């Protein structure tokens, strides 16, 4: 007689954490390449810095806890955290910005709570929020898209700006952010928030800002489509389920469409909401963190819807142009109650006694 061994019924895939993380950062490649194309080579240096600081901080924290550094590094979770934080901050931010963010994300958010699988919040977004609140000027200094900038930022120029604050020719980041037509507003969401606050209508803002020359904004629309492409591969490979991304996009698009229908002159169009800022990166790569998200499929859908609605509220009525990081962290806080009311009923416990 032969005995057949199989995975237990609750095990849905045989992939290890390392394999899952590898799929995640491989699917980030299209977004990273377009990030480089539209916003310069600084993104590569930010990723390198994030990896060095993140892995070093984790090694120290793990050593102090008496655990094996090699075992912890092997799961690649810190690599994904580093890449997510690096592509979320301005590509020419000073070197100490990404360093502080990674130390907080890895040491405080991840290791203090016990390491992989124990963190309550998404490490990358927690690090991002700390940076945004602490260093608002540096975190809002996005370079202009290549089509609007006076010069393209190559690797040597990016390195000089990141480590010294000036280009080899002596230009500051603020001078580089001044486009050929005097444009200094770096992102579409920035332009809309400031324009609407100044009592301009949406059509007037579109007409006055060159960055709105394409759907979602020059550079930003294509970048979001690249994150979407990578995210769909993750769904197709069953690395993530579709519930959270669909929930995020629906939670953002539906209220945006309602507001645009009834008040088109003072609302952000649905296309800008979906194809600008961190929408697709957040929906497919950040909100889907398996540790800090809801566990059941129904819970994941509600979790995603909550994030999408919160992003819309923050973008439309809050003080920040993009609200993805805040929305993810607030939804992380709600995971226990979401799980409580969305867990499937165990067999044999559904009827009345």
Supply φ then ψ for residue 228, to 5 degrees: -60, -45
In a domain, 350, yes or no: no
Q: Is the confidence at residue 90, as pLDDT, over 50? A: yes
pLDDT tens per residue across span 209-229 = 878 877 788 889 999 999 999
Supply φ then ψ for residue 340, to 5 degrees: -60, -40
Q: What is the dihedral of CA 298, 299, 304, 306, to 10 degrees?
A: 120
Residue with tokens 């709600």: 334
pLDDT at residue 346 in the model: 63
Chain Cα centroid distance, residue 307? 12
Lowest mean pLDDT of 171-175, 327-331, 334-338, name the range. 171-175
pLDDT at residue 348 in the model: 58
pLDDT band for position 153 (cuts 50, 70, 90): confident
pLDDT tens per residue across span 177-206 = 765 444 555 688 888 888 888 888 888 888
Of 298 and 191, which is predicted with more confidence?
A: 298
pLDDT tens per residue across span 12-25 = 556 788 889 999 99
Same domain, residue pair 167 and 261 = no
Which ranges in the chain belong to alpha helices (H)? 17-27, 29-39, 42-64, 69-73, 77-88, 95-103, 123-134, 136-139, 155-164, 173-176, 188-197, 202-208, 220-236, 243-262, 270-275, 279-281, 297-317, 324-342
Lowest mean pLDDT of 30-34, 114-118, 163-167, name the range. 114-118
Q: Is the confidence at residue 79, as pLDDT, over 70? A: yes
pLDDT at residue 8 in the model: 42
Half-sphere exposure of 148 (CA within 13 A, CB side): 27
Q: How far apart are CA 276 and CA 268, in angstroms?
A: 11
pLDDT at residue 88 in the model: 95
In a domain, 9, yes or no: no
Same domain, residue pair 240 and 311 = yes
Q: Give the whole-number percent of the chain exceeding pLDDT 70.
A: 90
pLDDT tens per residue across span 22-32 = 999 999 999 99
Q: How far apart are CA 232 and CA 132, in angstroms?
A: 29
Residue with tokens 């901050």: 89
pLDDT at residue 303 in the model: 97
In a domain, 5, yes or no: no
Same domain, residue pair 53 and 190 = no
Structural contact between residues 176 and 199, judged by C-beta atoms closer than 8 angstroms? no
Q: Is the confidence at residue 351, as pLDDT, over 60? A: no
Lowest mean pLDDT of 31-40, 211-220, 285-294, 305-314, name the range. 211-220
Q: Is the confidence at residue 350, as pLDDT, over 70? A: no
Same domain, residue pair 295 and 191 = yes
Q: How far apart are CA 310 and CA 223, in angstroms?
A: 22
Same domain, residue pair 197 and 309 = yes
pLDDT at residue 197 in the model: 83
pLDDT band for position 45 (cuts 50, 70, 90): very high
Q: Is the confidence at residue 9, as pLDDT, over 50? A: no
Strand partners, 117: none
pLDDT at residue 327 in the model: 96
Supply φ then ψ for residue 166, to 5 degrees: -135, 155
In a domain, 167, yes or no: yes
In a domain, 111, yes or no: yes
In a domain, 60, yes or no: yes
Residue with tokens 């990404």: 98
Structural contact between residues 116 and 72, judged by C-beta atoms closer than 8 angstroms? yes
Same domain, residue pair 203 and 301 = yes
In a domain, 353, yes or no: no
Same domain, residue pair 76 and 196 = no
Q: What is the mean pLDDT of residues 79-105?
A: 95
Same domain, residue pair 119 and 253 = no
Q: Tokens for 4, please give them.
A: 């057949």
Strand partners, 166: 172
Q: What is the mean pLDDT of residues 240-257?
A: 96
Same domain, residue pair 160 and 196 = no
pLDDT at residue 186 in the model: 67
Same domain, residue pair 210 and 155 = no
In angstroms, the first-to-last Cα distance of the chain is 42
Same domain, residue pair 167 and 212 = no
Strand partners, 172: 166
Total count of domains within the chain: 2
In a domain, 251, yes or no: yes
Q: Is the confidence at residue 129, as pLDDT, over 80? A: yes
pLDDT at residue 353 in the model: 44
pLDDT at residue 185 in the model: 55
Mean pLDDT (the chain) is 87
Residue with tokens 């998404």: 122
Domain coverage including residue 257: 185-342
Same domain, residue pair 26 and 171 = yes
pLDDT at residue 13 in the model: 55
Q: How far apart are CA 73 and CA 62, in angstroms?
A: 10
Structural contact between residues 17 and 116, judged by C-beta atoms closer than 8 angstroms? yes
């Amino acid at each position: 007689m032969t005995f057949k061994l199989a995975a237990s019924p609750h095990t849905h895939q045989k992939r290890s954490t390392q394999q899952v993380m590898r799929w995640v950062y491989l699917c980030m490649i299209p977004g990273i390449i377009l990030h480089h194309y539209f916003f310069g080579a600084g993104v590569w240096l930010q990723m390198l810095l994030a990896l060095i600081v993140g892995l070093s901080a984790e090694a120290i924290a793990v050593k102090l806890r008496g655990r094996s550094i090699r075992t912890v590094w092997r799961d690649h979770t810190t690599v994904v955290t580093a890449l997510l934080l690096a592509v979320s901050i301005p590509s020419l931010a000073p070197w100490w910005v990404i360093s502080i963010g990674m130390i907080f994300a890895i040491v405080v958010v991840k290791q203090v709570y016990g390491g992989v699988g124990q963190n309550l919040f998404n490490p990358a977004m927690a690090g991002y929020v700390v940076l945004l609140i602490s260093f608002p000027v540096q975190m809002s200094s996005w370079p202009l898209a290549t089509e609007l900038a006076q010069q393209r930022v190559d690797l040597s120029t990016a390195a000089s700006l990141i480590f010294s604050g000036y280009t080899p020719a002596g230009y500051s980041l603020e001078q580089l952010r001044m486009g050929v037509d005097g444009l200094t507003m770096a992102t579409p969401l920035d332009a809309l928030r400031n324009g609407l606050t100044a009592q301009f209508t949406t059509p007037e803002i579109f007409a006055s800002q060159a960055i709105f020359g394409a759907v979602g904004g020059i550079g930003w629309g294509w970048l979001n489509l690249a994150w979407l492409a990578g995210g769909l591969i993750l769904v197709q490979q069953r690395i993530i389920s579709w519930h959270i991304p669909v929930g995020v996009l629906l939670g953002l698009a539906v209220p945006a469409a309602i507001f645009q229908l009834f008040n088109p002159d003072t609302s952000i169009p649905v296309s800008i909401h979906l194809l600008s800022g961190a929408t697709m990166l957040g929906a497919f790569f950040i909100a889907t963190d398996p540790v800090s998200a809801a566990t059941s499929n129904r819970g994941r859908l509600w979790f995603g819807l909550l994030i999408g609605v919160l992003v819309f509220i923050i973008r439309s009525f809050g003080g920040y142009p993009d609200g993805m990081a805040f929305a993810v962290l607030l939804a992380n806080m709600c995971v226990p109650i979401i799980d409580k009311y969305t867990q499937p009923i165990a067999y044999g416990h559904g009827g009345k006694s």
